[in-house]
Amino acid sequence: MVTWSAKRNLLDSSGKIKTHSKNDKIGVYKIYLNMNTIPYPNRLGNLIYIGKSESRSVYKRLNDYLNTSTTSNPSLTNYILSERYDVKVEITNCNKEERCQKIEKDELRKHMKKYGSLPICNRKNA
């Protein structure tokens, strides 16, 4: 069974990733908008990304998305840095990389079943 942290703001008042007890280990994270605005095929949703950090802390992985020149996911970075959205995060920790991979895969599968699509920022052409 997977235990997720409570949803909390991703950024602090200065625009930096908020620290959290679950941030300092490897894990899986889900990033949400503050409102159901994404028109997925089956229904509106607010989950925009499911990701994992396998070799370094969740905190360091989330920080990667704040750098617009080196981010691996520009659309996610745009959502995070937009003042229009209050971006939230949930985190679960894993003790092994394989466990992180399984949790991420399971969460993506659940989203596909419920919403009819991957989260918007998990799509390769997002």
Q: What are phi and psi of 94, to 5 degrees?
A: -130, 150
Give the per-residue pLDDT at 125. 57
pLDDT in tens, 56-105: 889 989 999 998 888 889 999 999 998 888 899 999 999 899 999 999 99
Give the per-residue pLDDT at 67. 87
Q: Match 């607010």 to its residue by tokens.
A: 46
Q: Distance (Å, rounded) from C-alpha 98 to C-alpha 15?
A: 32
Do 68 and 77 contact (CB within 8 A), yes or no? yes
Please report the domains of the chain, with CATH numbers, ordered by start residue: 8-122 (3.40.1440.10)
The model's confidence at residue 43, banded by pLDDT at 50, 70 and 90, is very high
Give the per-residue pLDDT at 23. 72
The model's confidence at residue 106, banded by pLDDT at 50, 70 and 90, is very high
The Cβ of residue 33 has, within 10 Å, a number of other Cβ atoms equal to 19
Q: Distance (Å, rounded) from C-alpha 105 to C-alpha 102?
A: 5
